[in-house]
A and B are shown apart, each in its own frame.
Chain A
Amino acid sequence: MPELSLDGLKSKATTIRELIIRITTEAGSGHPTSSLSATEVVTALYFGGFMSYDPKKPNDPNRDRFILSKGHACPVLYSAMAEAGYFTTDDIMTLRKLGSPWEGHPNMRRLPGIEASTGSLGQGLSIGIGHALAGKMDGKDYHTYVMMGDGEMGEGQVWEAIAAAEKYKLGNLTAIIDQNGYQQTGATKEVLDLTKFQPKFEAFGWHVQTINGNDMETVVAALKTAKGVTDQPTCIVSQTQKGYPVVPLLEAEGDPNYHGKPFSPELAEKAIAMIG
């Protein structure tokens, strides 16, 4: 379980962002901006001492779990896992290519360390509840983290799961909403405005923090706080920017959402220069 310093985490996030851009540009498709928004949280989870895991023992029953319910953001997951040693950065350059297990959305049958096959939005939190319930039954102290998108919160199943997690007092479960403000066709506030997540989760009996999810120091502090809550499920509303920190480049392209589009090679180089 690596535990990098704050500067180390920031540097790791930069490396992961560069990978996200390179692999999606190489693939010629995918979701770089939905991945970039979530990079601080995923980096902190894998490298900030929060998740206990061993890439050589991906099925260790005592491991902590990370479920990427917003499966389209798998470039951030693949990149973090490559950095963590589950596979190599060369491997993930095959993203989305025929024959590659680094599919367009995570497929747990083809990749060790992937906790759930996601891509049909709304199911990850329920799957996470299954992991959390099993952990409690077996007396194990692992923690389950589930990351969802803010657009994904439109799925009714998510709210079924939120209620169930409270019923079972799942203090070993943390939901993270990567609230990057956009979904496929526009701003989440305009498509289906569920965005005041804090009072909604509090009403369901959850512990909730709303944070700037692109600020590493804040992310680390919030994850620490969440881990300290053991008698109720916790939610981190991680307010981010889709495409952070290269949003000015996307605005210059005329599409600040930039949903489900890879960067052109030229844009990718500009973006990598801006990140570095």
Chain B
Amino acid sequence: MYLGEASGLPLGAATRDAFGDALKELGATNDRLVTVDGDVGNSTRTEPFALAYPDRAFNVGIAESNMVSVAGGLAACGKVPVVASFACFLLDNAFDQIRMSVAFPQMNVKLVGSHAGISIGEDGPSQMGIEDVALACSLPGVTVVVPSDAACTQAATKACMELDGPTYLRVGRGKVATVYPDGCDFELGKAITVRDGGDATIIANGLMVPGALDAAKMLEADGISCRVIDLHTIKPIDRDAIAAAAKETGAIVVAEEHLHHGGLGSAVAQVVAETAPVPMGFVNVGDQYAESGDPQGLLDKYGLTGAAVAEAVKQAHGRK
């Protein structure tokens, strides 16, 4: 059972596919857009852009450090370089290049990490970007976005390309549930309340947004009315939405497909602590590496399920 299925959400496209489609479309009207690839364009889905605009696509080989700094140079000349690789190879391998060639000089480079999270499945932990959000958020001036579904990703891609500044967009490998069947009213830094409720709030991003909706539905039986917020932009974070949720619902659970430290949970907790301290719970991969396996089996084993989120809500709610 995929995340969101219990809520009746249909399965949609993978967010990497939505990114690739949006990028190709944007390429038609923005001739400053270029791609710099580390030979995984057919995985990250920059390939459709590269095939459509070969003069604006550079595959520098399996050389992520060079890839990122080349993009920094292109940006210094007015180009809008999109640098896509697996989240782990981009953020972890080329972190200092992102720091010095992109973030510190505030270059207008669009970083895209695909195959994020444990749901990539069988390829195993070496390919799983589960610390990428922490790394990206640590860099001053970098906007960090984790969209939940295809429509959200298309809108997020467009918003990132239009922003004048460095961005990190995280996308996933597998198909995910459709949260926004009628299109996503997306604004960078502005949380989306996808379900209202008064007893507790689940703040999620990525594929844990459908997981949060599943949890909210389960909690109906327990008489707990749950608000669900899609906090797609982690940086800059929507402080008002978080503070309001804390004040109005009194308990917050954060769900994400990321390590325990430094991701959405940490970011939300800082805002809650500063604005309206309430009981909190955290659903994530924990402080560990995962393993190879089928994507759904991994999500179940590592506790990224609607049931796990519902349980965390009950505990936080019980501490109110």
- Could you tell me the distance between the alpha carbons of A118 and B66 in the complex, rounded to whole angstroms? 14
19 A-B contact pairs sorted by A residue (CB < 8 Å): A107-B104, A115-B76, A123-B72, A123-B97, A123-B101, A126-B68, A126-B73, A127-B72, A127-B76, A129-B70, A130-B70, A130-B72, A130-B74, A130-B76, A131-B76, A133-B73, A138-B77, A161-B69, A164-B63
Given contacts A108-B105, A157-B97, contact A126 B56 (CB under 8 A): no
Interface of A: prevailing SS: helix
Q: Which residue of A lies closest to B103 (CB)?
A: A117
Given contacts A134-B77, A134-B78, contact A160 B66 (CB under 8 A): yes
Question: Which one of A122, A128, A134, A160 lies within 8 Å of B79 (CB-CB)?
Answer: A134
Q: Which of B7-62 contact A (CB under 8 A)?
A: 34, 55-56, 58, 60-61
Decide if A61 is an interface residue (CB 8 Å cutoff).
yes
Q: Which residue of A lies closest to B94 (CB)?
A: A157
Measured as residues with beta carbon below 8 angstroms from the partner, the interface class of chain B is: 20 to 34
Decide if B244 is an interface residue (CB 8 Å cutoff).
no
Q: Which residue of A lies closest to B60 (CB)?
A: A164
Decide if A135 is an interface residue (CB 8 Å cutoff).
yes
CB distance from A266 to the nearest CB of B (A): 37
Decide if A163 is an interface residue (CB 8 Å cutoff).
yes
Decide if A156 is an interface residue (CB 8 Å cutoff).
yes
Decide if A120 is an interface residue (CB 8 Å cutoff).
yes
Q: Give the interface centre of A122, A130, A164 by most chain B CB atoms within 10 Å.
A: A130
Query: Digit string of A33-46 for contact with B (CB within 8 Å is 1, else 0)?
Result: 00000000000000
Decide if A101 is an interface residue (CB 8 Å cutoff).
no
Decide if A51 is an interface residue (CB 8 Å cutoff).
no
CB distance from A145 to the nearest CB of B (A): 13
Decide if B252 is an interface residue (CB 8 Å cutoff).
no
Decide if B96 is an interface residue (CB 8 Å cutoff).
yes
Q: Which of A115-161 contact B (CB under 8 A)?
A: 115-120, 122-123, 126-135, 137-138, 156-157, 160-161
CB distance from A9 to the nearest CB of B (A): 29
Q: Which of B91-112 contact A (CB under 8 A)?
A: 96-97, 99-101, 104-106
CB neighbours of B99 from chain A (8 A): 120
Count how many pairs of residues, one from A and one from B, have CB atoms less than 8 Å apart in the complex: 106
Interface residues of chain B, those whose CB is within 8 Å of chain A, are: 34, 55-56, 58, 60-61, 63, 65-66, 68-79, 81, 96-97, 99-101, 104-106
Known: A123-B65, A161-B66. 11 other contacts (CB 8 A): A107-B105, A126-B101, A127-B72, A129-B73, A130-B70, A130-B76, A130-B81, A131-B73, A157-B66, A160-B60, A167-B60
CB distance from B70 to the nearest CB of A (A): 5
Decide if B73 touches A134 in the complex (CB within 8 Å): yes
Decide if B78 touches A123 in the complex (CB within 8 Å): no
Q: Which of A94-111 contact B (CB under 8 A)?
A: 107-109
CB neighbours of A133 from chain B (8 A): 58, 70, 73-74
CB neighbours of A137 from chain B (8 A): 34, 55-56, 79
Question: Which one of B61, B70, B77, B105 lies within 8 Å of A126 (CB-CB)?
Answer: B70
Question: Which one of B56, B66, B104 lies within 8 Å of A129 (CB-CB)?
Answer: B66
